[in-house]
Structure 1
Amino acid sequence: MLQYSDMVAKVLSPFDPRPVELLNGDGASPFVLSCEHAGRAIPEIFGDLGVAPADMERHIAYDIGAEGVSRHLSRILDAPLILQRYSRLVVDCNRPFEAPDSMPVVSDGTAVPANAGLSERARRQRFAEIQQPFHDTIAAVLDRRVQAGLPSVLISVHSFTPRLRGGPQRPWELGVLSNRDGSFAARFLAVFQARHPAIVSAHNEPYVVNDASDYTIPVHGERRGLPHLLLEIRNDLIVDEAGQSRWAAMVAEALVAANAKGNIDGR
């Protein structure tokens, strides 16, 4: 755990939004949902980060459509949902502190001037006030469920852009990510592909999960030994309410079936 005894002035003022939103914290579902890149808020002290308004609408600022999908999933499944309100350009809440892109200087070709030349102390302050409360909330929800004797399956909800600047087109519509323990991800993907064979889906595309580039799954899923997966839905499919509702329904159905199969198989 980082020590914050030498902090600079606070990042968040009383007028800034709280970094974490917890929905349906007592939900009875076995699923616990997190959405690390839901919001686009910027602390007042940072102005606009030096980033143009049009770029704040892009995937570099937040995961387009992921919050809407997450909210639908929470309602359909009766699942707790932990949402992050601040832009990933301020601090990426799915990165460890040491990751170079946890507070990116450039993101997919766009400079973030407010992040240039940050001292370690300034970086720690952002981490302490924005990233840490989000993960403390996830940990508290999971701890309460342990105390109540409730099972937990951790689902981290994200979206990805169809194409990075200068990169190839990404053909996948759904990516299902895991690292050390891919058992639940494999069950979910098998169920989803059987029910939706026309949808292009794959394991560990367009990204992979690892300790250097991810936080939620390694810390809250793997260390606790919980079934888990990270979902990546292509963001052009979930830009509106209809797409978000459609994808949430498909994902929820496959999650329930994959969990039931695991219970029957004893894994």
Structure 2
Amino acid sequence: MASKHPWPEVVTLQHEPLLGAEDPPVFRIVNPAGRSAVLLTADHAGRAIPRRLGDLGLSDRQLASHGAWDLGVDGLGLLLAARLDAFLILHNYSRLVIDANRPPLAPDSIVSHCEQSVIAANVTIDTAGRRRRLEELFHPYHRRIAAELETRQGQARPSVLVTLHSFTPVLGEDVRPWHVGVLHGRDGRLARRVREGLQREPGLRVGDNQPYAVSDASDHTLVVHGEGRRIPHVELEVRQDLLASESGRQAWARRLAGVLENALAEGFPSHPEGPASIR
């Protein structure tokens, strides 16, 4: 099956690379031999910036804010991977450099502002600079996810994609009352099971595609690697204040592990057209 989101043409770069020897790797793999069918991703787990880009002209406060990364999701991912014995991949770079969960051609793939501040290095970026960020910081991450899923398919091993995010309790003047959001696009079968499992917990406010909704224009990881491959998939968004402490992260890892295990114990939701590969 041809992908609905073909990879943009990869151009061989002739100029100096963006990443240097002192920069961290693009992504981190945890528990690569995990036995669970679940594959966990954390697109916004890091806030590194290539040394060549400095601080993007932003303050320390801005670089530590939700605009730069998903607070708490790295710790949640590590705990959940351990509980499920699952493969986990975490992107190490700030979404202010390039967003690992935006389609490469989306206007907000490289954002122009953080809060009210202009990111000059992003506003003035040229085509070559954009390609360099894609080639060095975006494509390696998604190629690694694709390689893992293709290896599993070759081994006739089931795969379930679970993408992890966190959301700010207050955005502008909007107060978000949900504790967790369960997101999906066209295929909501696994999401429905997970949402129903979470809704059984007293006092828990569960958002159905809230505070965000998955779409081809706004999401890449779930759409390409989940929908495109026709494997079971769900995106989970936990409110950041609930992940601010180690005890909070432990509680959410325990809760999400139990809900996911129960949802998958019912059997793997199969796409009516069968699995597909993206090449």
Question: TM-score when scaled to structure 1?
Answer: 0.95
Alignment match, 1:64: 71
SS at match of 1:257: helix
The alpha-carbon deviation at position 149 of structure 1 amounts to: 1.8
Q: What does the per-residue CA deviation read over 1:171-197, in whole Å, with 9 as the maximum and x for residues that have no partner?
A: 111000000100000011101111x13
Alignment match, 1:210: 215
- Counterpart-to-counterpart distance in 1, 2:244 and 2:140: 28
Work out whether 1:136 is the aligned partner of 2:143. yes
Alignment match, 1:223: 228
List aligned pairs for 1:171-186, cutoff 5 A: 171-186=177-192
8 Å contact kept, 2:99–2:110 = yes
Q: Would you say how many aligned residue pairs link Structure 1 and Structure 2?
A: 264
Alignment match, 2:274: none
- Quote the RMSD (CA, aligned, Å): 1.4
- Counterpart-to-counterpart distance in 1, 2:265 and 2:252: 20
The alpha-carbon deviation at position 266 of structure 1 amounts to: 7.3
Work out whether 1:245 is the aligned partner of 2:250. yes
- Counterpart-to-counterpart distance in 2, 1:175 and 1:107: 24
- Counterpart-to-counterpart distance in 2, 1:141 and 1:38: 19
The code of the aligned residue for 1:111 comes to V
Q: What does the per-residue CA deviation read over 1:76-115, in whole Å, with 9 as the maximum and x for residues that have no partner?
A: 0000001100001011000011111111111333332221
Runs of at least 5 residues in structure 1 that lack an aligned partner in the other structure: none
The code of the aligned residue for 1:220 comes to H
Alignment match, 2:35: 28
- Counterpart-to-counterpart distance in 2, 1:104 and 1:124: 15
List aligned pairs for 1:27-176, cutoff 5 A: 27-165=34-172, 167-176=173-182
SS at match of 1:102: coil
Alignment match, 1:187: 193
- Counterpart-to-counterpart distance in 1, 2:100 and 2:250: 25
Which stretches of structure 1, 4 residues or longer, exceed 3 Å deviation after superposition? Answer: none
SS at match of 1:39: coil
The code of the aligned residue for 2:126 comes to S
- Counterpart-to-counterpart distance in 1, 2:65 and 2:264: 34
The code of the aligned residue for 1:174 comes to V
Identity of matched residues, %: 41
- Counterpart-to-counterpart distance in 2, 1:130 and 1:67: 18
8 Å contact kept, 1:51–1:113 = no
The alpha-carbon deviation at position 154 of structure 1 amounts to: 0.2
Higher normalized helix content (fraction of residues): 1
- Counterpart-to-counterpart distance in 1, 2:118 and 2:82: 37
8 Å contact kept, 1:8–1:122 = no
The code of the aligned residue for 1:262 comes to G
- Counterpart-to-counterpart distance in 1, 2:203 and 2:123: 44
8 Å contact kept, 2:49–2:97 = yes
8 Å contact kept, 1:7–1:124 = no
Question: TM-score when scaled to structure 2?
Answer: 0.91
The alpha-carbon deviation at position 7 of structure 1 amounts to: 5.0
Runs of at least 5 residues in structure 2 that lack an aligned partner in the other structure: 1-6, 272-279
SS at match of 1:146: helix
- Counterpart-to-counterpart distance in 2, 1:20 and 1:125: 17
